[in-house]
Homo-oligomer: A and B are copies of this chain.
Amino acid sequence: MTHETRSTARADAFPGSHKVFVKLEHQGERMEVPKRRIHLSGGEASIDVYDASGPRSFSASEGLPGLRQPWIDARRSGPADTGNRTQMHYARRGITTPEMAFVAEREGVTSEFVRSEIARGRAVLPANTHHPELEPMIIGRNFLVKVNANIGNSVVRSSIDDEVEKLRWATRWGADTVMDLSTGADIHETREVILRNSPVPIGTVPIYQALEKVGGTIEDLSFEVFLETIEEQCEQGVDYFTIHAGVLLRYVPLTRERVTGIVSRGGAILAKWCLAHHEENFLYANFDRLCEVMKRYDVAFSLGDGLRPGCIADANDDAQFAELDTLGELTRRAWEHDVQVMIEGPGHVPMHKIRENVERQMQVCDEAPFYTLGPLTTDIAPGYDHITSAIGAAMIGWYGTAMLCYVTPKEHLGLPNKQDVKDGVIAYKIAAHAADLAKSHPGAQAWDDALSKARFEFRWEDQFNLSLDPQTAREYHDEMLPAEGAKTSHFCSMCGPQFCSMRITEELREYARSAGLSDAEALKEGLAQKGSEFIETGGEIYR
């Protein structure tokens, strides 16, 4: 395993950063693992951070290079190929794949640890063999907390180009996976272009396309149509499917006293189908057949929470937890096929009911990774639900949720535009990083410390460059102090020079340095002398 780097400019969103690549060799396969290196001034060491943005693609029609293709081909043509091609299948047989080695480098852990977590089912590495463009990543509570961004058109508007641009935009700001929730015309073509241009795993909700195939009439859905749909999407390279197999016929009446009923689109579709046919949910009834298809491509399940609460009043109710029990049962069935599984969670939950969600999920689903939407911690702020939900997301991440599905300011009101996507991703990068800190993830705090040290030392450029959104930080600073000199001045417009606490503290320490004393000695010295002597030496005490 050799470490070398080459770098490309990242002047677009992250001035002062370069993309660097760690060169690895894993059992004869070569790979380059990307990181973002933030260069600092004043002799400070640069800092490397996780980078999900992928290679720059020059045109959507060309797509990204297929970095995983050799690894996939080698496995497929090898003697060990049984037709089951999941990372879990390999992991359980003691095989460390190149994907696992790639992920280990990204996360700063050993390949063996990655393998064991996947084998245990406590982490998923979503990587369809038909999506070679993917840069492998992992989702599990013993790794960095991840963020998913939803994109996708609806019948109301938006084009394929819009969606590809949203994909690039979301990954630029740090989305670790992207779900394509398109429901309108061009659903196949949109997905194709997204996959060929995506360095991150792509998830979908196949019931949407299945419903299009039967002309939008829920009662006409059938397992056969669904199966055809997932085979089509498996072939295209989708990495994980949200499948609402836990919405059982007998659970539907449990939603009847709810304030907001069923708020999952997929959940509502399946509930209606179950009642209309008075039959059990065809996804539940045919679950093993889904596994048979998905294991050939290594598509992971994201078992959908079709009965998640849609408001504070409905949180943690019988419908939600009954479905969760079934998701636990299905987790074990999928694992029998070595198919990877994560579990979706709510939604809308007040803070004091969040922990129970994680603890029950871990117990019932045997620690399969939890993947939650927010949760929103109040219902009263439409237009600001990236904030109401970032609160819940940070907390649920701390408690053990592996991936956080973002919520944008447009939630409940309309489709997100580009600015909304960015606002949603950044709010969720904050939540995920706050969770990493609270979990004492090794290395997480180095980023905070580097920024705080830059702040204390008035290295303004470094402070901007270390932030999640350097451009915005710089603009906010420059709004009042636009002069270039203000980027090195020892105050900002918030307090002005006279009242800058950091400047005053710096003066205290400067005294120590100029007197040739250590800080400790200087302060001891200072405390020992008479104050009046200090005053006699000049206006500023510590210099």
Q: A residues within 8 Å of B by Cβ?
A: 154-157, 183-184, 208, 211, 216-219, 249-250, 252-253, 255-257, 259-265, 267-269, 271-272, 275-279, 310-313, 348, 350-352, 377-384, 386-388, 390-391, 394-395, 398, 409-415, 417, 426-427, 429-431, 433-435, 437-440, 445, 447-449, 451-453, 455-456, 463-464, 466-469, 472-473, 475-477, 479-481, 492-502, 504-509, 519-520, 523-524, 526-527, 529-532, 534-535, 539, 541-542
Q: Which B-chain residue is minimally distant from A499 (CB atoms)?
A: B265
Q: Which B-chain residue is minimally distant from A505 (CB atoms)?
A: B261
Q: Which B-chain residue is minimally distant from A464 (CB atoms)?
A: B382
* Smallest CB separation, A268 vs chain B (Å): 4
Q: Taking A275-B527, A480-B156, A501-B268 as contacts, is the C-beta distance between A217 and B495 under 8 angstroms?
A: no
Evaluate contact between B481 and A414: CB separation under 8 angstroms.
yes
* Smallest CB separation, A267 vs chain B (Å): 7
Given A272-B504, A382-B451, 5 other A-B residues pairs in contact with their CB atoms under 8 A: A261-B506, A265-B499, A348-B452, A379-B448, A412-B455
* Smallest CB separation, A354 vs chain B (Å): 9
Complex: A260 Cα to B451 Cα, angstroms: 10
Complex: A88 Cα to B506 Cα, angstroms: 41
Evaluate contact between B261 and A456: CB separation under 8 angstroms.
yes
Q: Which B-chain residue is minimally distant from A353 (CB atoms)?
A: B438
* Smallest CB separation, A37 vs chain B (Å): 16
Chain B neighbourhood of A398, CB < 8 A? 351-352
**A-B contacts, 15 listed (Cβ < 8 Å):** A154-B496, A155-B498, A157-B480, A219-B534, A250-B527, A256-B509, A259-B456, A263-B502, A263-B505, A276-B531, A277-B534, A312-B449, A382-B467, A383-B472, A412-B455
Evaluate contact between A394 and B414: CB separation under 8 angstroms.
no
Chain B neighbourhood of A505, CB < 8 A? 255, 260-263, 268, 271
The 10 A-B pairs at the shortest CB distance, nearest first, are namely A261-B505, A277-B531, A311-B452, A278-B531, A351-B438, A268-B501, A268-B504, A379-B448, A377-B434, A383-B472
Evaluate contact between B312 and A445: CB separation under 8 angstroms.
yes
* Smallest CB separation, A441 vs chain B (Å): 11
Evaluate contact between B271 and A508: CB separation under 8 angstroms.
yes
Chain B neighbourhood of A390, CB < 8 A? 387, 390-391
